[in-house]
Amino acid sequence: MKRAKLLSSVSVHFSPGQSVCPCFMKTDILIVGAGFAGASTAYHLSRQSARSIIIADKEEVPGFHASGRNASLLMQGAEIPDIRTLIMRSRKALELIPGAVLDSNGSILLGRKVYLDGIREPDNPPSEYLGSDEVRKRIPLLEGHQFEAALFTPSDAVIDIATLLSFYLHESQEQGAKLILGCRIDAVSGRGPFTVHTSQGTIEAAMLVNAAGAWATELATAASATPLPLTPLKRHLFVLGGAGPVSREWPFVWNFDKSFYFRRESGELLFSICDETRCSSLEPTVDPEVAEDLAELIWAQLPTLRETVQLRAWSCFRTKTPDGCFALGWDPALENFFWVAGLGGHGMGSSWEVGRLSAQKILDSKAEIPAAFSPRRFVQGASSVKQTKLET
């Protein structure tokens, strides 16, 4: 299985001169955040409209946080049906992107059968239940691990996150979008057009797209937008050595009952205990107690891994809403402020459809996004606000 690289070690293409912002710029649409949410939205906007677009990110590397530090898993069996639909549709589109974005060895999902039945609706991709002996034959590391049921989905995949994010950003720039890195947002004034004061100068934008991930609430506060209930949660990932032969052909494994998943990572094992921790800081630090929790889980559940060693560890953030659905759509009160946030760990796998739906809604107020994703659901009695119509 091809290694899914951390984006912090990957050079993402952008044209010379587009990484530096002059003292003043003017644009139709300013997208804050160059991770999957912002990059995919920019990709679809740039292909559907001649409007000017700037993508601004506070880091020097696009996708430095959640988009570049996740486990790269495309699992179509999401619990929420609307999210499941977006992931399945995105997978079909990602399969057609040049450069082998998907490595489709499938997934083996473990847990209670009643739960697995719930994410295996008739319109889902083909899947089959496997017996415990067959599962352990395919994944010897599960010898000695107890589980009720196992669901194999051949079309689940590992995504090459560096290639995919680079594709979105490169194609956006080919269509005229500008990418500005190392661009911290200091203040926002106006209600559309917005005057955005950044570390690299001032940007005047008719529309502001909030794709800032874990920092989406901070941007909304700066712009006086509706304070949506978004919670950044820290998750850790570990690379374990000494697991023995790890086959390139193995599907990834996810146990919903015991809260862990693993896949091959450059001959070793990428492992997570599915931790989600509220924290006061948005720095991607590693919490030592999580490493202890990992060791305890392995000792209790996976005897074949008891002699493994932790080679590397890192953390990233997944930002969630209270109901687990995305926040996609216009702000309930602030004109021309659009949310692409709260993707809760599904942003990579659903990125194509998230960007496509968001772009359509930005360009056409009559375009439909599932009501489950509307930011208005968090505000009692919210009324529609008028959005600026931009000339093509």
How far is Cα 147 from Cα 133, in angstroms, rounded to an integer? Answer: 11
In what helix (H) or strand (E) does residue 298 lie, and over which residues does it extend? Answer: helix 288-301
Q: Average pLDDT, stretch 218-223?
A: 96
Structure tokens at 215: 């920092």
Domains by residue range for the chain, with CATH: 7-67+161-230+323-378 (3.50.50.60), 107-154+232-320 (3.30.9.10)
Q: Which of 125, 104, 129, 135 is nearest to 115 (CA)?
A: 129
Structure tokens at 344: 């809760």
Interstrand relation of 73-74 and 157-159 (parallel, antiparallel or unpaired): antiparallel
- Looking from the CA of 366 toward its CB, the CA atoms found within 13 Å total 0
Q: Average pLDDT, stretch 27-54?
A: 96
In angstroms, the Cα distances linking 390 to 52, 55, 347, 362 are: 10, 18, 28, 10
Q: Is the pLDDT of residue 3 over 50?
A: no
Structure tokens at 228: 């949506």
Which is higher by pLDDT, 24 or 338? 338
Average pLDDT of the chain is 89
- What is the three-class DSSP state of 118? helix
Q: Is the pLDDT of residue 20 over 50?
A: no
pLDDT tens per residue, range 44-97: 999 999 999 999 999 988 877 777 778 899 999 999 999 999 999 999 999 999
pLDDT of residue 15: 39
The conformational region for residue 202 under phi > 0 = left, psi -120 to 50 = alpha, else beta, is: beta
Strand partners, 197: 187, 202
pLDDT of residue 92: 94
How far is Cα 185 from Cα 57, in angstroms, rounded to an integer? Answer: 9
Other C-beta atoms lying within 10 Å of the C-beta of residue 248: 10
Q: How confident is the model at residue 100 (pLDDT cuts 50, 70, 90)?
A: confident
Q: Is the pLDDT of residue 315 over 60?
A: yes
How far is Cα 353 from Cα 24, in angstroms, rounded to an integer? Answer: 33
DSSP state of 24: E
In what helix (H) or strand (E) does residue 270 lie, and over which residues does it extend? Answer: strand 268-272
Write phi, then psi, for 358 (nearest 5 degrees): -65, -45
Write phi, then psi, for 2 (nearest 5 degrees): -65, 140
- What is the three-class DSSP state of 22? coil
Q: How buried is 170 (Cβ within 10 angstroms: 0-12 exposed, 13-18 middle, 19+ buried)? A: middle
Q: Is the pLDDT of residue 4 over 60?
A: no
How far is Cα 392 from Cα 390, in angstroms, rounded to an integer? Answer: 6
Contact by Cβ (8 Å): 105, 250 = yes
DSSP state of 346: -
Contact by Cβ (8 Å): 91, 74 = yes
pLDDT of residue 14: 37
How far is Cα 352 from Cα 350, in angstroms, rounded to an integer? Answer: 6
Q: Which of 223, 212, 282 is nearest to 41 (CA)?
A: 212
Contact by Cβ (8 Å): 286, 313 = yes
The conformational region for residue 348 under phi > 0 = left, psi -120 to 50 = alpha, else beta, is: alpha
